[in-house]
Each structure stands twice: as C-alpha cells, then as structure tokens.
Amino acid sequence: MSHEDTAMTCELGQPTPTETYHYGVMRRAIDLIDAGGADLTLEELASRMGMSAAHFQRLFSAWVGVSPKRYQQYLTLGHAKTLLQERFTTLDASHAVGLSGSGRLHDLFLRWEAMSPGEFARKGAGLQIRYGWIDSPFGAALVMATDRGLCGIGFAAESTREDVWADLTGRWPEAEFIEEPDAVAPWVQAAFRQQGETRLHLIGAPFQIKVWEALLAIPSGQVTTYSEIAQAIGHPRAVRAVGTAVGRNPVSWLIPCHRALRKSGGLGGYHWGLPVKRAMLAWEAARLDA
C-alpha cells in the first residue's frame, strides 16, 4: 500500500500532515464542483489540484469510494432537489416513533437506547465518556462513547478541534471524559467501515430523541423534509422545533440529520457545515448507485 493510500484509511489517532493535506485537496475539488464545475474534466480538476490525473483519481476514489466523474454527478447545487423528487421517503409515524431499538437500519446494524429524562437532567453526572479522534471520510472526527454505545460524533472540517471538543463536552458538562481511543474503536470501525454492529447511546431531551428516532428511519441514499419529520412524531406544527432538534443531533452521520432537507429542495442547515452535508449526501448517493 502506498503512502497516499495509507493516509486515506480510517485509523484511530491524530491525523498525519499527509492526511490533513489530502482532505484539503478533496475539499478544494468539492468547492470547484459546487461553484459550477460539474463539467470539469478529470485532467482539469487534477491540474487545479496540482496533481497528475492518475494520482488525483486514485486519491479521490480512495477518499470517497467512487471516481471523480461519478461523484460530480451528485455533488451539484441542484442535487437536493433531485433527491426530493426521486428519493423522497415518507416516514410512517408508527415506525419512526416506535422503533424497536434493534435491527438493521440504513447500511449498518444499529442498536440504541435512550437516556431517561432524569439522567438527561443530570447533565451527564455519573457518566464516564471515552473519546478519541479519528480520520473519517468527512475529515477529522471526534468520537465519544459511554459503556452503552456511541454518544457523540463531531466533525472538524469547518471548525477547529477545540471548537468541536467544546461543543460536544458542553452538552454533558458533568460527565467525566477519558481519552481512550481503543475503547471506541470497535464501534468506530462499524460506523465508518460498515463492519459489525454499532451501538448508540442517545443522550438528549425527550422531544429531541423522538426527532432522532425519526431520522434513524430514513434509509441510506434517501431524504425527507423537516415537516415530514414533524408529522411523523405527532407534532406537525413544530417544524422549527424539529429543525432545532435535528441540529442538536450529537451523533452525526449515524443519526443521519444530513438526510433532512427543506421542502423547497434547499439543504437547510447543518451543525458541522453545509460542505460536510453536501459531501455526505453525494457520498451516499454515489455509492448506492456504484
């Protein structure tokens, strides 16, 4: 395996300078396509990245799982509208709110349990939360877990690591945080490599957890709307509150808040930055059709 390929693997620990550089290259390529460069040839994209076409193709395919050309078909400003037209899913309330907590969801085995309201009110008091930084397909990610499962995933693509750390730890200020990457490794492997079982521990207010349960019902490669989620959880007029709860999802990617769009076809917001949301939607759609 080459040095370039090694840098693209999802290893635990601090990203190397090469990993950081490669992610920056991918981000610049995405920005070019977002700016209207969907018709750029492989050679033109590679030239703008300062690479040979062969090197750029290999690096891009390792990062996203498909070729630059296939990715370009999905990473466009109009992709959200296309998704709503072709891959919109209607959430049935009985399934969205009454999930069993086990079984196959999306492309992964997810087992989850929610913290009780009383536990949530204690702001993490008595909880030990282990954490580690990983290199994910969407940049450096901070992953956190209790002994019951993953409770936090935050991305540093648009923010500093310090900001991501402050964001996640601020949600459970009374918890004890222990740096122990090996403790979260098995769930991390399942989460990003789609191998084995991933356990989730949902830490949130009751209304937030209902919204996150509804998000878990959206299949990979499909999307829904904030109003559809509000309808599914029995609060059809609470679209704004649903949007806030979606934004407070602490386990990004696995609880797929990136699959929630506006009725108009707009992307809506995304806590870790809209470029990350676009990348996630395009990554899923491209791999689904690969």
Q: 149: left (phi > 0), else alpha (psi -120 to 50), else beta? A: left
Tokens of 121: 């009110």
Q: Which of 33, 134, 257, 281 is catalytic?
A: 257
How many angstroms separate the CA atoms of 249 and 279, rounded? 18
Residue bearing tokens 């500093």: 160
Tell me whether residue 10 is one of the annotated catalytic residues.
Answer: no
- Type of residue found at 48: R
Tokens of 147: 């002994």
207: helix, strand or coil: helix
Contacts of 95 (CB under 8 A, 6+ apart): 217
Q: Is 9 exposed, middle or buried (0-12, 13-18, 19+ CB in 10 A)?
A: exposed
How many angstroms separate the CA atoms of 231 and 246, rounded? 14
**What would the DSSP string read from start to end of 112-146?**
EEEPPHHHHHTTTTT-EEEEEEEEETTEEEEEEEE
The strand order across the sheet containing 128-136 reads 104-105, 108-114, 197-202, 149-155, 139-146, 128-136, 176-179
The answer to whether residues 263 and 126 touch, using CB atoms and an 8 Å cutoff, is: no
How many angstroms separate the CA atoms of 159 and 273, rounded? 8
Q: Which residues are tagged catalytic?
A: 257
